């Protein structure tokens, strides 16, 4: 007898495992009730089919988008444990007001990623921009706790917008000649930290790269 293993079933198991590790590796055999408590699945829905989870979108059975925000009481109350286990097929990740662990490594982000917006999630530490996925277009991480110095070098050639506003960043270092041509806006730092932007090549910094206090003045 020969057994044929469907490759798609293997991928289903992989993306389900990744999603469960993302929301908490301690999920036990009662995980169905926990998923229901978080608002991710409804009664009678298959808990192991992530394409049926609230806020998740799939294409041909492959998860491509997560949108977990908490703006209203009816929104999912899922708590995100880590971003290091996000499925590699994700193109869009949107999270708001989630208590995510502080570890944030750009090299561990999904390689298919195009759009990411994570705000009010208490992400902290240094932010290494060099490991961003090659096709990233929008990286929006405002209202977190990233600190220190951020280097705008080796950015994806497709990136259009970067928002690091309302993070206690002290310094942003820019190399004008290496900024992607399609970059339209880059906002860095906090109005409370007096973030400075320095050009490594000694040239005048492009007007679309500016600290948070400039953004506040524009809105007045």
Domain ranges of the chain: 1-22+29-98, 102-109+119-220
Mean pLDDT score across all residues of the chain:
83
Taking only the tens place, the pLDDT of each residue in 185-201 is 999 987 666 788 888 87
Express each pLDDT in 22-75 by its tens digit.
987 656 555 777 788 888 887 666 677 899 898 999 999 999 999 998 665 555
Q: What is the DSSP string of the chain?
A: ---PPPHHHHHHHHHHHHHHHHH-TT--TTHHHHHHHHTSS-TTS-TT-GGGSTTEEEETTEEEEEEE--SSTTS-------STT--TT--EEEEES----S---GGGS-TT--EEEEESS--EE---GGG--TT--EEE--SSEE-EEEEE-S--TT--EEEEETS-EEEEEE-GGGS-TT--EEEEE-TTTT-EEEETTSSPPPTTEEEHHHHHHHH-
pLDDT in tens, 82-121: 999 999 999 999 999 888 866 789 999 999 999 999 999 9
pTM for this prediction: 0.85
């Amino acid at each position: 007898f020969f057994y044929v293993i469907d490759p798609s079933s293997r991928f289903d198991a992989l993306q389900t495992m990744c999603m469960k590790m993302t929301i908490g590796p301690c999920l036990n055999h009662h995980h169905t009730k926990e998923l229901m408590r978080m608002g991710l699945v409804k009664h009678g829905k298959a808990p192991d089919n992530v394409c049926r989870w609230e806020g998740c979108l799939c294409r041909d059975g492959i998860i491509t988008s997560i949108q977990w925000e908490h703006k209203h009481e009816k929104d999912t109350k899922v708590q995100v444990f880590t971003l290091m286990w996000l499925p590699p097929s994700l193109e869009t990740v949107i999270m708001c007001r989630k208590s995510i662990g502080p570890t944030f490594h750009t090299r561990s982000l999904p390689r298919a990623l195009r759009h990411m917006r994570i705000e009010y999630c208490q992400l902290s530490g240094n932010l290494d921009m060099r490991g961003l996925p090659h096709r990233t277009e929008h990286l929006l991480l405002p209202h977190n706790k990233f600190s220190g110095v951020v280097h705008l070098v080796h950015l994806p050639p497709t990136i259009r917008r970067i928002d690091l506003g309302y993070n206690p960043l002290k310094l942003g270092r820019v190399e004008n000649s290496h900024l992607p041509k399609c970059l339209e806006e880059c906002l860095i730092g906090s109005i409370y930290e007096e973030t400075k932007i320095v050009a490594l090549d000694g040239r005048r910094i492009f007007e679309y790269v500016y600290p948070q206090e400039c953004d506040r003045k524009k809105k007045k």
